[in-house]
Amino acid sequence: MIHLFAAYDRKAKLWFGKTEGLPIKTEAATLDELVAKVWEMAAEIDQAAGTTAIALLLQVVDREGLSKETLHLMSSPANARELDEAIAEIEAGNVTEFRP
């Protein structure tokens, strides 16, 4: 079994992944693309080793204190862009605080 650790870097706007069990480190724009790349790389290594079956376990690592929901939203480039814009607006003070 290959254990893939994936994390989103908001500043780089990329997903980074590394595996435990195989020497794979890669990056991609979305989580789906990252998993596909790792799967392809693992299959190539597996085929070269002469084995016929692999299993991939994905673990999303919270690299910057983001919730899993936010990480999921950040996997879409359009959503990530909107979240980044909203964060920039908050940091610039262009926000009205609402407390119920």
Which residue's entry shows tokens 């997903």? Answer: 15
Quick one: pLDDT at residue 28? 93
This model's pTM is above 0.75: no
**Sequential DSSP letters for 56-83:** EEEEE--SSS--HHHHHHHTSHHHHHHH
Instruction: Going residue by residue through the chain, which has 100 residues, state the pLDDT in tens, using 9 for 90 and above.
Output: 677 888 888 788 888 888 877 788 999 998 889 888 988 888 888 777 766 555 666 666 655 555 566 666 667 778 777 777 877 777 787 766 555 5
How many Cβ atoms are within 10 Å of 5's Cβ, its own excluded? Answer: 15
For residue 68 the two structure tokens come to 């899993």
Task: Spell out the domain ranges in the chain.
Answer: 2-91
Query: CA dist 73 to 60, 64, 89, Å?
Result: 13, 14, 18
Class of domain 2-91: alpha beta
